[in-house]
Amino acid sequence: MNIRKILPHARYRPRSLDHDIALLQLSQPISFNGLVEPVCLPSAGEEFQEDHLCWISGWGATEDGGETSVQLHSAQVPLMSNAECNEPQVHQGSVSPWMICAGYLEGGIDTCQGGPACGRWRG
């Protein structure tokens, strides 16, 4: 699918990665036929249950220090508490209240491939 326009969140901050989400306007409509399904976004103030599996997707690097992908990737990962993510051995306090933490502490599947907020949590 070709993208006509990318609308980043008005409060997106590249240095902190706060509000790291965007709306994509596609060049043509999507047919939801079971192969492609719409996503649901959380409501303001919605609480997330730790260890609940969720879907992540993006065009990020697939290896630490690698190039961004031209293909959209997705994976299912467990949600983690922001308190656990902010521990010194994980993200050293860089996870803000505007972020949702998900993935595996041992790495392997996550959305974090060496960006400024990734610290030592390599995936």
Global pTM value: 0.69
> Would you identify the CATH topology of the domain 1-31?
Thrombin, subunit H (2.40.10)
65: left (phi over 0), alpha (psi -120 to 50) or beta: left
Q: Where are the domains of the chain?
A: 1-31, 48-123
Q: Parallel, antiparallel, or unpaired: how do β-strands 3-8 and 22-26 relate? A: antiparallel
- 111 — pLDDT class (breaks 50, 70, 90): low
pLDDT in tens, 49-68: 888 888 888 887 777 778 88
Q: What is the mean pLDDT of residues 91-112?
A: 79
Query: How is domain 48-123 classified at the architecture level of CATH?
Result: Beta Barrel (2.40)
Do 1-31 and 48-123 show the same overall fold?
Answer: yes
Strands (E), the chain: 3-8, 22-26, 53-58, 73-80, 101-102
CA distances from 39 to 15, 61, 88, 98, 102 (A): 27, 22, 33, 19, 17
Three-state secondary structure string covering 57-69:
EECCCCCCCCCCC
Contact (CB, 8 A) for 81 and 49: no
Per the prediction, the chain carries an average pLDDT of 79
Within 10 Å of residue 45's Cβ, how many Cβ atoms? 5
Q: Judge whether residue 118 has pLDDT over 70.
A: no
